Structure 1
Amino acid sequence: MKHKDISDAVLVNRYINGDEQSLSILIYRHKQKIYSFIYSKVFDKDITEDIFQDAFIKVIKNLKLGKYNEEGKFLPWVMRISHNLVIDHFRKSNRMPKFDNSGDFNIFTVLGDPAMNAEKRLIKEQVDCDLRRLIEELPEDQKDVLIMRMYKEMSFKEISQQTDVSINTALGRMRYALINLRKIIEEKNIVLSN
């Protein structure tokens, strides 16, 4: 029987019963989806690698302790673990809610409330996903500055050094990025709130 013909549930069972190779097959089978999901949230290859590895350490621990009971739902289970680790990562680094634009356009504070119920969390994730898609529409120089500032928490001094422009140019690009983002939101009639 070929690996692709063996279901996740059977592989999980085999792993629990001592077949280490079964876990390798599961990781290989789902690596791309899980890795892409994590990267789409953190935009950093090193952090993605770390979270991916932490997710599978948690998977192994839970399987060894007999805490897995979702037969046939291995991928959604690992995705949930990965998602929680992404949230933990942002909580630890306090990266999400920090931005203060001192204006009325403060869509970045939508993120980060640990007391959110499941519905609000889904809405927040959708807003975050929509926002990242809108950011992709910005001119490259503005998009770079916005991502460095918002998601990588770099200072304008660090941004100016990395992009090889003056601090004023970096500040200007950030200002134009926010103005253009607002225009895109208005043009597309998008509501970024619940």
Structure 2
Amino acid sequence: MNNYTISDQDLISQYLNGNEAAFEQLLNKYKNKLFTSILLIVKDEFVAEDLLQDTFIKAIKMIRAGKYNEEGKFMPWISRIAHNMAIDHFRKQKRYPTIVMEDGSSVFDTLDFSENSIEDQKILKETQANVKALVDMLPDSQREVLVMRHYMQMSFQEIADSTGVSINTALGRMRYALINLRKMMEQQSENANHAIRQKTNYQRVS
């Protein structure tokens, strides 16, 4: 009997019932497609191999934990895991990209730093780390397009093709990502200024 005639759901059921070879059949069935999709993003065969392994490890953990409920849709499900693995790889590797806001300005355009000032360099590093943390707080679809555009230097056509949406949708997600990023930055700045004012007033009273 040809293994490829067995449905993905049957193979997953067999795996959950203790048949380790069943998941190996799934791996062999889709590993070439997944490797190619990862390689298109990371453009490094060794990195792609590592991420492919990580993808299957994460898939196994999720299936064992009962978190797979995409009956009949295993390939789209695991493709999404692989895609997110590749995105996270870039987000972790390139820690401080130059993010251009919706008005064309850089995140750091409003900050005046001196290259020779140790204090300013410390502030810049902290600000960069803070922006990275804020990027992580964006909704998944917005963070994805921002990482692909600013970390991975992908065109909007490439982003649209990779995520399976129209260019207009990709552009819209980027716009909302930048708007939300700016709002979070402004809120943090307002909170910081408020804390400074409170501290100053407390010192005056003391």
Q: TM-score range by the shorter chain?
A: 0.5 to 0.7
TM-score by length of structure 1 reads: 0.54
The amino acid across from 1:55 in the alignment is T
Give the total of aligned pairs: 129
State the distance in 2 between where 1:119 and 1:131 align.
14
In structure 1, the partner of 2:97 is 98
Give the direction of change, closer, same or farther, for the CA distance of 1:96–1:43 in structure 2 (3 Å limit). farther
The separation in 2 between residues aligned to 1:119 and 1:64, in whole angstroms, is 26
AA matched with 2:31: K
Per-residue CA deviations over 1:6-59 (Å, capped at 9, x if unaligned) read 111111111111111111110111111111111111111111111110111111
Runs of 4+ aligned structure 1 residues displaced above 4 Å come to 121-129
| CA–CA separation in structure 2 for the residues paired with 1:100 and 1:12 | 42
Q: Deviations 1:159-188 (Å, cap 9, x if unpaired)?
A: xxxxxxxxxxxxxxxxxxxxxxxxxxxxxx
Counterpart residue number, 1:5: 5
- 1:16-31 to structure 2, matched below 5 A, reads 16-31=16-31
Q: Which residue of 2 aligns with 1:164?
A: none
Consecutive unaligned residues in structure 2, runs of 5 or more: 107-131, 159-170, 176-206
Written as runs of structure 1 = structure 2, the 5 A alignment for 1:14-163 is 14-93=14-93, 95=94, 98=97, 113-117=135-139, 119-120=141-142, 129-130=154-155
Q: CA deviation at 1:73?
A: 1.2
Tell me how far apart the structure 2 counterparts of residues 23 and 39 of structure 1 sit (CA, whole Å).
22
* Distance (Å, rounded) in 2 between the aligned partners of 1:126 and 1:89: 11
Q: Provide the rounded CA distance (Å) in 2 between the counterparts of 1:9 and 1:83.
A: 21
For 1:97 and 1:132, the matched residues in 2 are separated by 24
The Cα of 1:116 is off from its aligned counterpart by: 3.7
Tell me the percent identity: 36
